[in-house]
A = this chain, B = another copy of it.
Amino acid sequence: MDDEGPRNRATIRDVAALAGVTAGTVSKALTGRGQVSAATRERIMAAVKEIDFRPNELARSVFERRSFTVGMITTDSFERFSVPVMLGAEDALGAGRISVFLCDSRDDPIRERHYIDVLMGRRVDGFIVTGRSSNKREPLAVERGFPVVYALTPSSDPRDCSIVVDDRRIGETAGEHFLRAGRKSVAYVTGPEYFDAVRQRGEGLNAALAAAGTRQTGQTYFGNWTEAWGRQAAQMLTRAHPEVDAIYCGSDLIGRGVVDGLRELGKSVPNDIAVIGTDNWQVIAAGSRPSLTTIDTQLARIGRIAAERLLDAIAGKPHSGIEAVAGELVVRDSTN
């Protein structure tokens, strides 16, 4: 209706004038701090509605010396892994009055430096740092004690607070599920050896198998994170170890390749061979034939926890160390 030229320029003094009081009083009414009579509060609120006044949080922040914003830095171009984490974090943060700045550093130190500078200038209250792999990374280059939480990709400084996937437990979960189903010969097909997650899941798997007095069949099949590798590994594996009746896969993509490979080799999944993936990447795992039992990495949960830890740090109660979040078994049709 009314075309108020300059944008939303209403100030607290405009409200004051309209309500016939002074700016200080409006402030009191709005913040709830200080005494204001019911009557004037009424008038003030009416005035606020009338001119659609919204307090300038920037000015407020200058005064309060904090901005109620945090920076979320990912090195992962917001791919499959960091997106759910960021969503979880944003969700938890937004529930308070905290807004989130989005930064894609693309794993480039120059860009990361730039974002830190810009956001420190904006007086963010803290940072959440996330990445793709579970390998450790250098701490963020901010002064010691400034609130930072690492999600998914832990800091190499053990004094920092990091929330990560419990890869060892994931491996155990897979092993236990196979054992419960009575499987005797479990193989492990996964990604490149230099991923910490790859090694830890393997250790977990074997820890579970060891409890039943056995261990994984054959060597670990390291490869890359692709379906093609999964198919190839299925061939190698069934040839080298025809006794295999269960395969744990380091990702759903690999798992799907394994399942496809097995089908094409005439093996029945899960009757002949059961398969478990990792990630619970919906479209891949659910679209597989048969659909893939997998271990959900709970990324959104990791994001939410990271947000909570960050809030604590901002409140002056920093956490320290690496917190590993358990995954969750999602049973579909590739196991019985």
Contact = CB atoms under 8 A, between A and B. Distances in A.
Contacts of A78: 78, 83, 86-87
Contacts of A253: 283, 287
Interface residues of A, number: 52
Interface string A141-173: 001111000000000000000000000000000
A36 to B, nearest CB: 21
Contact of A99 (B7, B65, B101, B284): B101
A58 B56 contact: no
A58 B55 contact: no
Contact of A62 (B59, B120, B227): B59
Contacts of A83: 78, 83
Contact of A57 (B87, B97, B121, B146): B121
B104 A122 contact: no
Given A99-B101, A101-B101, A102-B72, A56 B123 contact: yes
A312 interface: no
A90 interface: yes
A23 to B, nearest CB: 15
B87 A121 contact: no
A91 interface: yes
A177 B70 CA distance: 48
A8 interface: yes
Contact of A117 (B54, B102, B118, B146): B54
A102 B307 CA distance: 14
A87 B97 contact: no
A55 B121 contact: yes
B91 A104 contact: yes
Interface of A: 3-4, 7-9, 52, 54-59, 61-62, 65, 67, 69, 72, 77-78, 83, 86-87, 90-91, 94, 97, 99-104, 115, 117-123, 143-146, 226-228, 253, 283-284, 287
